[in-house]
Structure 1
């Protein structure tokens, strides 16, 4: 117990990094998911092809491997671009935090694409046709009808994506992001208590996961409140 207390400040700081990483990645996930789902449902073959390639690639490559490819690949690309302007530049890279957020958002965004696509397909076509008959533009139909109804249908699956996103944030320690797993690794080298340190990390992730589960249940209850009132 004393070992945990000694490292409590570091674990708290690491937890804050993980929470920040989670929310930044979440915004990206929503963007990738909406863009991917819209592209898959579009009439453009090119858009559908790009979206299909995105989901196959990002779901087929392990998260850990994709994280390394994005981090080191971006460093190589930026370095080569910078050297074309200034040969004296030796190395450039994206900050590990942003590289990690981008990489894990691609993976979860690919899964969210399929969840959103299924939710869009679950909307009653008669409601869309009725909205168009009332004179609503395509943008108004999407913003006022399809998007709100899609979110309601996507909530159960999206909650699972949030849990996966949270757990994937543990991977970014490998590229130097100082999250709670990174803190546990550092503490282990000092106190040689790996079981205690990693068990602490597990409890922190479990606590954060519980918050997500409870939050999603509250959101789902609010989203389906009209059904409860109709009973």
Structure 2
């Protein structure tokens, strides 16, 4: 079978499987990034304005998750989650292995990892906010919640966009690690196709092209968002 037929959508072609796996990779990264936004925002807020115990907890979270290998986090959640579910099921008389959904384990793992990095991005962006604008908001009578919603959050988001774009690119590549849980994402599908046909080069080259397409579109989206956020600035 020729390369075009092998990677096409006809009988025996792997095109649909590769595109489906690319969609899984994108959804996995999006889910992890969205969870990371929430965790990163909470951790950054805790480190900036929280009480001492909360600052300690947020600092421990970011230090730990940035200091251990990403693959280890995935393994711990996957096997630890299975062991926990198995223990709970044992209370109800179930014997045997209880698996956890690989997609959601991967999404949570990527969310925890990206959240640690996003927290540092948000913290740095907050440090760059012009305090004069916050003082001006107080001078016109805005309360703390209104200042946060109308002044602080928009300014932090604008400054954080480039850093968040970098975190997103890293997260896209880290999504390939989730294949160790059995999830068929893009790289795993390329491995399956290469092993089944004994033609690794076309599959890995196609996987690389699909990753590059996703990252290129992502770069354009973040660049447009940054340009929109900086309208009116010199």
TM-score clears 0.5: yes
Aligned with 2:139 (options 113, 133, 145): 133
Q: How far does the alpha carbon of each residue in 1:107-162 deviate from its partner, in whole angstroms, 9 at most, with x for none?
A: 11111100100111111122212212322222111111111000111111111011
Equivalent residue number for residue 71 of structure 1: 78
Please name the residue that 1:206 is paired with.
212
Counterparts of 2:174 and 2:94 in 1: how far apart (Å)? 37
**Segments ≥4 residues shifted beyond 4 Å:** none
Residue 122 of structure 2 is aligned to residue 146 of structure 1:
no
Match of 2:127 among 121, 132, 135: 121
Residue pair 2:29, 2:110 contacting (<8 A) in 1 also: no
Aligned residue among 170, 187, 194 for 2:193: 187
Match of 1:13 in 2: 20
TM-score, structure 1 as length reference: 0.94
What's the TM-score, normalizing by structure 2? Answer: 0.92
Cα distance in 2 for residues equivalent to 1:206 and 1:102:
24
The residue number in structure 1 matching 2:7 is 4
- Structure 2's unaligned 5+ residue stretches are none
CA positional deviation for 1:90: 2.4
Give the match's secondary structure for 1:225.
coil
Unaligned 5+ segments in structure 1 are none
Q: Distance between the aligned counterparts of 1:160 and 1:130, measured in 2?
A: 32
What secondary structure, in the 3-state scheme, does the structure 1 residue paired with 2:233 have?
helix
**Cα RMSD after superposing both structures:** 1.3
Residue correspondence of structure 1 range 36-51 to structure 2 within 5 A: 36-51=43-58
Structure 1 CA distance for aligned equivalents of residues 203 and 82 of structure 2: 32
Distance in 2, matches of 1:115 and 1:192, equals: 43
